[in-house]
Structure 1
Amino acid sequence: MYVSVSQKNYLNVLSYNTEILYLCRFIHPQMQNYELLALQNQQRAHEVIKRLDLLTFWENHGCRANVIGSLAMKLLVKHLDIDIHVYSSGITEESSFAIIADLAKNQHIKEIRCINGLHTDEHCIAWHAIYEDAKGDKWQLDMIHIESGTQYDGFFELMAQRINARLTEKQRQTILRLKFETPDDEEIHGVEYYQAVIEDGVATLDELRNWVATHRTTGGIYWMPD
């Protein structure tokens, strides 16, 4: 049984994050910049989902939708992106495009790109949409529409659950700090931070760069802790 942020508990998560952010601002003025930035951007990400009613949007089209990735693990820091995996049966290009056509009607959706992987072992269509919020900041919505019951159904939800179960508070702080310290034009995958810190004790940006140089593979990155 994996745990994910789905519509049924989403409003509770949003309310909880709002209260935590308020308390941190006024009760813990010593909080590090990266911690406060992470909390602020995680709160903003939840507000984007709420304004779009994104989980309900997919569910109303007969899909099961879960928030995954850094937001689900409370490890989102600087990058304004939201990862959602969506599942349904009998996906076709026509059916998935029809759903996204409805999303495109929202005036705050500025761009949508598609990668068709239905004929690969991933059995999915990847949708990447750009949402512009009230501040003019652009959020990337990575919505992966996956055929139910195939290889990656629930995989990344399980990854998030296992990482959260293994992660100590010290490791969480290290990951947040490393993400904050990484230059915006340097690409390090989220799972590389997690594996390097949790499995190999990486603690500095130089150590992380060396770790990535020796561990990065050319294929997908599917590590999760036991």
Structure 2
Amino acid sequence: MDLLSIADQNQQLAFNLLQEAQLIEAWQKIGATIHIVGSLKSGLMMKNLDIDLHIYTEKLQVAESFSVMQELAERLCLTDIQYKNLIDTEEECIEWHASYKDKEMNVWKFDMIHIRKGSKYDGVVERVTDAVASKLTPELRRIILQIKFDVPRGTIIPGIEIYQAVFTGKVKSYAELEQWRSSHPLTNSLDWMPG
């Protein structure tokens, strides 16, 4: 199967899983607005099966956020949940990272970032995701998917770092990405936007 087919299949599986798991509906119960971001939205999902959601409410209430996660944990086969309280930082968010095993035994990661509406980073990742998707040519998509495919298992490289290397550094392979990263360390992924 070619890389484009794998990415398209992963995207379809992710949308099906989102619907089955009713993640968006669970957060809507507390009045949240939910945006799909990252590789699911841009069609660049390869080996890392991540569903990235940015969840916005007027106020960040720990108990409310926990209530959604409690419902999801009781309803879904979540194998691991991580929680980070960043309410009092400039990010103004609560991070949830949960692992889920589907019927085919694929492990999915749900990255659910609960953000205060109107905070500094409100909409930032959405704008970057939209910019990446709008500037993707078939050739750039193929290069990014190949690099993601070639990243060795166990090596974690944020997608945004790969996109920056391809768009800004004209990187065309995993070997070139390794060279790029050694001289261009990622300091803040929220500062970059494709030109």
Is the structural similarity TM-score above 0.5? yes
Whole-angstrom distance in 2 between the partners of 1:164 and 1:199 = 15
Q: Deviations over 1:114-171 (max 9, x none)?
A: 0110010000000011111111222110000000100111111100111122222111
For 2:69 and 2:22, the matched residues in 1 are separated by 14
Unaligned 5+ runs, structure 1: 1-31
Deviation at residue 187 of structure 1 after TM alignment: 2.1
Deviates more, 1:38-47 or 1:124-133: 38-47
Q: Counterpart of 2:188?
A: 220
Count of residue pairs the alignment pairs up: 194
> Counterpart in 2 of 1:74?
43
Percent identity over paired residues: 36
Following the alignment from structure 2 to structure 1, what is the Cα–Cα distance between the partners of residues 167 and 158?
15
Aligned-partner residue type, residue 117 of structure 1: L
When normalised by structure 2's length, the TM-score is 0.94
Could you tell me whether the CA contact under 8 Å between 2:56 and 2:115 is conserved in 1? Answer: yes
Indicate if the aligned counterparts of 1:182 and 1:205 stay in contact, CA closer than 8 A: yes
Equivalent residue runs for 1:86-101 within 5 Å: 86-101=55-70
Distance in 1 between residues matched to 2:134 and 2:64, nearest whole Å = 37
Tell me, yes or no, if the aligned pair for 2:56 and 2:116 is still in contact at 8 Å.
yes
The 3-state SS of whatever aligns with 1:120 is coil
Residue 186 of structure 1 corresponds to 155
Which protein shows a greater Rg?
Answer: 1
Q: 1:153 aligns with which of 122, 134, 146?
A: 122
Distance 2:189 2:130 in 1: 17
Q: Which runs of 5+ in 2 are unaligned?
A: none
Runs of 4+ in 1 over 6 A off after TM superposition: none
Find the counterpart in structure 2 of residue 14 from structure 1: none
| Structure 1 counterpart of 2:8, from 34, 39, 64 | 39
Contact kept in structure 2, 1:118 and 1:124, CA below 8 Å: yes
**Take 1:207 and 1:106, find their aligned partners in 2: how far apart are those partners?**
44
* TM-score, normalisation: structure 1: 0.82
